[in-house]
Structure 1
């Protein structure tokens, strides 16, 4: 049972510029790159809280892995577009975090995803509880 249920944290915004390497032969952002933009935004959100994922692995033996993604591709982004990735933690379970992420160009919603990440013991590769110090950091944004 989730410890925080149906509670939205303040969103964070991460800017991204579309480069040539992000586009496909049609000149629009290749579909998988939206997921890359979201991954970077989640990582930067944790970094802003002072959470170093390499240190978590080395010192605490935990890593975060994507468990589930549900994505909607609504409009295409193109070369040189300035985008914003909006990231909200919407649920925290004992061993998981659920994010709502949106990618916008100005006011236009291009992409929306629900991403669940699991906290995993890196030695046994099994789900493990989110450590209390980390939970406290994440809840402090509520």
Structure 2
């Protein structure tokens, strides 16, 4: 199976930084959220349509982030996202944020999500979604 990933550009705005012009650590999680949303969009899945059709949402249950080099105001970054696990009610993604011009790796993360219903109870990922997601599962990481 070939490796599927989705990469998106993210510009660092002043609002993303601390007083010293360095990206505030929690904002990397926002960039990664955008990356996961665009990953799903790239494979034909829209989060609002998933909620409407199946009555489910995905909630982050765990985020393991390793920060290596800071990004700064006005940097252009690239967020690379790969699906690495899918089991029952769980998904896991690996995400890497690079400085676009230098390709220097800034941070890496493994993000785990739970499939939940509208009452916030864990539930299995619906079969039609599993079928689509399986085609984009990166088994190199397993």
Shift of 1:8: 8.2
The RMSD of aligned alpha carbons is 1.5
Q: 1-side partners of 2:63 and 2:129: how far apart? A: 23
Shift of 1:128: 0.6
Question: Tell me, which stretches of 5 or more residues in structure 1 are unaligned?
Answer: 1-6
**SS where residue 65 of structure 1 aligns?**
strand
**SS where residue 26 of structure 2 aligns?**
helix
Shift of 1:139: 1.1
- With normalisation by structure 2, the TM-score equals 0.89
Instruction: Show the counterpart of 2:140.
Output: none
- With normalisation by structure 1, the TM-score equals 0.89
8 A Cα contact 2:97 2:107, kept in partner: yes
Shift of 1:132: 0.9
8 A Cα contact 2:62 2:111, kept in partner: yes
Q: Number of residues paired by the alignment? A: 135
Instruction: Show the counterpart of 1:140.
Output: 135
Alpha-carbon displacement from aligned partner over 1:14-45 (angstroms, at most 9, x marks no partner): 11111111111011001110000000000111
Q: Does 1:14 align with 2:8?
A: yes
